[in-house]
Amino acid sequence: MTTRAEFLKRLESWGVKLAKDVLELKEPVMEIPARTLSNTVWDEKARMLKLGPEKMHRRFLDMKEARRFMQTVLMLVSSWRPLGAVPHDTSWATRPDGICYKDAE
């Protein structure tokens, strides 16, 4: 099991990689675990189902994937902030639907 700090660090490094790709004019691509029945594994020790080793790629410049890519980025931001990643940053706000966003400066 990972700690909150480890989880936040992993989310932050994921976001930094995406930002770096954009700034270097590369296509941002996310590699995420495939959420499919064939990639589900029973963990006997934890007595729960876990995702297996299969990965899928979400590409920003693929018109069929762009919406899912941005939804995943929004979920990254909306889960990163409430976990205490930016406690004193007042430029963050929450929409009525619960999504956190950062005001443009």
Q: For position 3, what pLDDT does the model report?
A: 78
Query: For residue 105, is it within any domain?
Result: no
Query: For residue 38, is it within any domain?
Result: yes
Rounded mean pLDDT, 72-89: 65
Residue listed under structure tokens 């989880």: 7
pLDDT band, very low/low/confident/very high, at 88 (cuts 50, 70, 90): very low
Query: For residue 104, is it within any domain?
Result: no
* Token pair listed for 98: 């619960």
| Confidence (pTM) | 0.56
Number of domains in the chain: 1
Query: For residue 40, is it within any domain?
Result: yes
Query: For residue 87, is it within any domain?
Result: yes
Report the amino acid identity of residue 65. E
**C-alpha closest to that of 13 among 76, 101, 99:** 76
Parent domain of 40: 4-99
Q: For position 39, what pLDDT does the model report?
A: 92
